Amino acid sequence: MKSRFVACLVFVCLAASAVRASDLQDDLKARRARMMERLGPESILILFSAPEKVYSNDVNYKYRQDSNLYYLTGIDQPETILVLIPGNLERKEILFVSTGDPVREHWNGHLLTQKEATDESGIATVYTTKEFESFLAAILTGRPYGPIITLQEYEKFSKAVKEDRARIELLLGTAPKLDGPLPEAYEFVRKLRERFFGFSVVDATAIFGELRQVKTPYEREILEESASISSEAHLAGMRAAKPGAWEYEVEAAIEYVYKKHGAFDWGYPSIIGSGPNATVLHYEKSNRQMNDGELLLVDAAANYKYFTVDITRTYPVNGRFTQDQKDIYNIVLQAQEEAINVAKAGAKTSDIHQKTVEVIKEGLLTLGLITDSKGDQYRTWYTHISTHWIGMDVHDWGNSNRPLAPGMAFVIEPGVYIRESALDNLPKTPENEAFIEKVRPAVRKYKGIGIRIEDSFLLTENGLKRLSARVPRTIEEIESFMSSR
């Protein structure tokens, strides 16, 4: 009964969404304006869409737009290019899209017309992708581009090119090795430099990170809707888990909820790990049958309108925790609880993580899984960092040195994973031999238990908001939900 009531609430909440389609266009416009402010009048930004990716042979994966291109355009079509020229008089925003190929449209569906591209993005100037080369050649040799345009339109940028001050901002990604192949972005830079002069190339990564790190009111609403769908999906997963069921049945129950609410798909491949699979951080196979007495770790969230939260729950497939499972669970839960209290405006995510480390060390020491709470022994069982930004990417762009401020969204996800093999992998030093001998009995007792608890948060002007609050989390909440299914 209780769960049905919750499901009802979700439905009402989603149906009553106050977000209108035009809200996205308004937000896109504001995002581009902020980007152009950072770029300045002597820069241009060139941003390419994500390539299509091969699934196998001549079949592609479902197309997923590059987050940054979508962030500034709302266009989810391949072969799209955005150019921002803040120094221009009117045409500061120019979009290139592939249009009007009847054969391609027959096979793969409608391509945006220039007018539709304008309607979706709010960008008035739209050219075809084929024109991009001649556009670049024009503006990088100090000529204007496009019909019925005043000679002054491109003047600021042209002058910067002529005087060697122009900046081309691109997303370069990680620098390639000297002897390896050039990634596409670097290849593009190489070709630009062969043909044109008067500019330097700048990596725009940091600006995107800074902008995306603080969510706009529109983005906060979508993030909450996305969290709402993912929370409901977790409840569906909890209903599907039982001794004898297969991991993929839980996965199907979860992903059904995503699709039912019009989500694109998962935001990252679902992790549905039962028994020892719960200790595999990115377990993706979902093909094991669950046994009575085991835990199931579920790490899953939808990509809804290009926003993804990140939620993990670990619960007993038969609905009741054993004492050993409770021992570990309570450490992770307490670590999360205490870390939540640290997550205030002005704090850093490293402070949050440090708190989880402190609590987990104490807990592991008490259970005999480490012998020294001062050093790094805890890393044998707590193998990852507990925070990251969320948003358009599940591990969203942002600067971790920036103090927390309203509009930032992130997870807190401590975890403990007791893999006996972790002891075998320690370097063979006398110190480690002694450690292994002392903790071996506790490791035998708890081996195969993997627990992660992960919630998604939005820091607001009124404090921290747990976006995944509806998913049972404490031992009491979980056992009560599982027995009332």
Structure tokens at 426: 């320690």
> What are the distances in angstroms from CA 376 to CA 250, 338, 382, 385, 413?
36, 20, 10, 14, 19
Identify the residue among 27, 153, 221, 310 touching Mn ion (CB under 5 A). 310
Shortest Cβ 455–Mn ion spacing (Å): 10
Shortest Cβ 310–Mn ion spacing (Å): 4
Q: Which stretch binds Mn ion (CB under 5 A): 61-69, 129-137, 310-318, 337-345?
A: 310-318
Shortest Cβ 192–Mn ion spacing (Å): 37
Shortest Cβ 457–Mn ion spacing (Å): 12
Q: Which amino acid would we find at residue 433? A: E
Residue (333 or 411) nearer to Mn ion, CB? 411
Distance CA 444, CA 420 (A): 7
Shortest Cβ 386–Mn ion spacing (Å): 9
Residue (370 or 459) nearer to Mn ion, CB? 459
Shortest Cβ 280–Mn ion spacing (Å): 15
Among all residues, whose Cβ is closest to Mn ion?
A: 310
Q: Which stretch binds Mn ion (CB under 5 A): 136-144, 150-158, 246-254, 302-310?
A: 302-310
Shortest Cβ 382–Mn ion spacing (Å): 14
Distance CA 451, CA 321 (A): 12
Residue (106 or 282) nearer to Mn ion, CB? 282
Place of tokens 């035998």: 444
Residue (112 or 300) nearer to Mn ion, CB? 300
Contacts with Mn ion: how many residues (CB under 5 A)?
3
Shortest Cβ 222–Mn ion spacing (Å): 19
Residue (25 or 383) nearer to Mn ion, CB? 383
Shortest Cβ 464–Mn ion spacing (Å): 17
Burial of 56 (0-12, 13-18, 19+ CB in 10 A): exposed
Q: What is the per-residue burial (b if ≥16 Cβ within 10 Å, else e) of 417-440? A: bbbeebbeeeeeeeeeeebbeebe
Q: Which stretch binds Mn ion (CB under 5 A): 40-48, 201-209, 247-255, 409-417?
A: 409-417
Structure tokens at 378: 């805890």
Residue (92 or 234) nearer to Mn ion, CB? 234
Residue (268 or 315) nearer to Mn ion, CB? 268
**Under DSSP, is residue 302 helix (H, G, I), strand (E, B) or coil?**
strand
Q: What is the per-residue burial (b if ≥16 Cβ within 10 Å, else e) of 298-308? A: bbbbbbbbbbb
Distance CA 272, CA 251 (A): 7
Q: Do residues 58 and 103 make contact, with C-beta atoms less than 8 angstroms apart?
A: no
Q: What is the per-residue burial (b if ≥16 Cβ within 10 Å, else e) of 159-194? A: bbbeeeebbbbbbbeeeeeeeeeeeebbebbeebee
Residue (251 or 327) nearer to Mn ion, CB? 251
Distance CA 42, CA 175 (A): 25
Structure tokens at 312: 């993990």
Residue (35 or 394) nearer to Mn ion, CB? 394
| Contact between 224 and Mn ion per CB under 5 A | no
Q: Return the closest-CA partner of residue 394 out of 67, 77, 73, 122.
A: 67
Q: Which stretch binds Mn ion (CB under 5 A): 54-62, 109-117, 231-239, 403-411?
A: 403-411
Q: Which stretch binds Mn ion (CB under 5 A): 5-13, 41-49, 70-78, 309-317?
A: 309-317
Q: Which residues bind Mn ion (CB under 5 A)?
A: 310, 411, 413
